[in-house]
Structure 1
Amino acid sequence: MAERWTVGIDKRMCVRTGLCAASAPEEFELDEDGQGHARSAILPASEEVLEVAESCPIEAIGITNADTGERVFPPPVV
């Protein structure tokens, strides 16, 4: 089975740049207030989704492995 990610955007942190939706419109969209969110709560793991999360200027996008619960981004602090 292919890896799946749970992707969430912290609405309190999101500053509405629209970068997520512009960078990956198949995976992210903006609501009526211009706030970004994933089109689906669970997305297939992909380099594109990870790059969008990494490029968010305030790291409002969090990714966890949907099957294990392990945090993918931001990376766990060791």
Structure 2
Amino acid sequence: MSWSIEIDANTCIGSGMCAGVAPDQFELVEGYASAKQSQVEPADEVVDAAESCPVEAILVKEVGSGRVIAPEE
């Protein structure tokens, strides 16, 4: 199983929380969040990064089923 990471560029405010929480998975590019890979192995730090985004611009989903992993509703 793997997860996909989607970032809504129109929502992102460039707070950098994701890169601070999960620097192996996220970086800031021109002041906005960017996932280093669009698909990743499941990891708590990815969920933590999505949950820490102040505007919920990061969506983590299970590849295949499309089930939303984070942020929790």
User: TM-score under structure 2 normalisation?
Assistant: 0.90
Question: Gaps (5+ residues) in structure 1?
Answer: none
- How far apart are the structure 2 equivalents of 1:22 and 1:63? 17
Structure 1 SS opposite 2:10: coil
CA RMSD of aligned residues (A): 1.3
State the identity %: 36
- How far apart are the structure 1 equivalents of 2:61 and 2:7? 12
- How far apart are the structure 2 equivalents of 1:55 and 1:70? 19
User: TM-score under structure 1 normalisation?
Assistant: 0.84
Match of 1:60 among 57, 61, 64: 57
Shift of 1:74: 2.9
Match of 2:7 among 9, 30, 42: 9
- How far apart are the structure 2 equivalents of 1:10 and 1:53? 12
Instruction: Kindly provide the amino acid, as one letter, of the partner of residue 7 in structure 2.
Output: I
